[in-house]
Amino acid sequence: MLMVAGFDKYYQVARCFRDEDLRADRQPEFTQLDMEMAFTPLEDMLTLNEELIRKVFLEIKGVELPNPFPRLTYAEAMNRYGSDRPDTRFDLELKDVSDIFSGSSFKVFSDSLESGGIIKVLCVPNGAKKYSNSTLKKGDIYNEAFKSGAKGLPFLKITENGDIEGISALVSSMDPATKDDLLRRCSAGPNDLILFAVGHHAFVNKTLDRLRVYVAHELGLIEHDRHSILWITDFPMFEWNDSEQRLEALHHPFTAPNPEDMNDLATARALAYDMVYNGVEIGGGSLRIYKRDIQQKVLEIVGISMEQAEAKFGYLLEALDMGAPPHGIDVLI
């Protein structure tokens, strides 16, 4: 409404209470800085936030942050780290090995691939020495996988002479070519440990993300004096809600879709972004929908009829009818 009234740029310091799922890194109550700007391209929004955060870190902590901030798309972050808020102070990256095991006789793998699942791995340097077989089968690291929903934790160890050992059925299913391809894909060497996650891509990423962070703490791989900050961009507009069997907005249903993806809104990328610092989301924003026809289509995709939209978001639709300008909103927590 302020935008329609002619206030093209404004900010507020807002005291907030979360109405979403709690996490260990989230406070129920917090203060955030909201910045709302009309006629501001996405790149300008990112630049403004970078300049602000660089100034804050330099003047308060004496820390010089990179210029510009590194960027990862959502797809890249999920593929490499299994998370849309990756901690990049350490280098452990996930690898998709589905193609390597496409003809595997190991039933856990073959059943998953046949049902549309994937196989990804986390290679832990010198993990074969750190973690005993009993720990991997029923100890702390297994429990971490179990907490993420995993029913088991397939693993392989690379011996001193380059052989592999571990789950016997998995080892016996691998011919020399498969073994060589796996070790090459993982850049694995003697005494390394390879942890597997199998199933739907969301479940696999959740499991290996949890194990990645756990292992990094266990092995002292995190550079605690390092300041790792980056942007995550190109989020999907929607994600699948399995329990309700429908699409729902990944951020919220007012985020503008990427103009390149307008022909298929259900699979579109959003003009949305998050700022991530040492594995914690500290801010984010998006360009907003400012055309009523697009807003109606997005609401319909998430199952909100026009009657429901008028009742719940009538003020918003009225503002769009009045001629809301193209605008973006940033939030720094």
DSSP symbols for 228-295: -EEEEE--BSEEEETTTTEEEESS-TTBPBPGGGTT-GGGPBBSEEEEEETTEEEEEEEEB---HHHH
CB atoms within 10 A of CB 34: 15
Nearest to 120 by CA among 88, 163, 83: 83
Query: Quick check: 155 and 167 in contact, CB under 8 A?
Result: yes
Q: Which two tokens stand for residue 223?
A: 């550079």
Tell me the whole-structure pTM to 2 decimals: 0.92
Q: How far is CA 154 from CA 55, 136, 150, 225, 254, in A?
A: 46, 9, 10, 34, 42
CA gap 261, 248 in Å, rounded: 17
CA gap 8, 3 in Å, rounded: 6
Q: Which amino acid is at 2?
A: L
In this structure, the strands spanning 71-73 and 229-233 are parallel
Tens-binned pLDDT, residue by residue, of the chain (333 aa): 777 778 888 888 888 776 666 666 667 777 888 889 999 999 999 999 999 999 999 999 999 999 999 999 999 999 999 999 999 999 999 999 999 999 999 999 999 999 999 999 999 999 999 999 999 999 999 999 999 988 899 999 999 999 999 999 999 999 999 999 999 999 999 999 999 999 999 999 999 999 999 999 999 999 999 999 999 999 999 999 988 989 999 988 999 999 999 999 999 999 999 999 999 999 999 999 999 999 999 999 999 988 898 898 888 888 888 888 888 887 876
**What is the gyration radius of the CA atoms in the chain, in angstroms?**
23
- Cis peptide upstream of residue 68 (ω within 30 degrees of 0): yes
CA gap 239, 179 in Å, rounded: 35
- In a 13 Å sphere around the CA of 62, the CA atoms on its Cβ side amount to 1
For 121, the 3-state DSSP assignment is strand
* 137-146 LR contacts (CB < 8 Å, sep 24+): 141/195, 141/211, 141/214, 141/215, 141/218, 144/210, 144/211, 144/214, 145/195, 145/197, 145/207, 145/210, 145/211
CA gap 298, 266 in Å, rounded: 8
Query: Quick check: 331 and 31 in contact, CB under 8 A?
Result: no
CA gap 169, 171 in Å, rounded: 6
Distance, CA of 193 to chain centre: 24
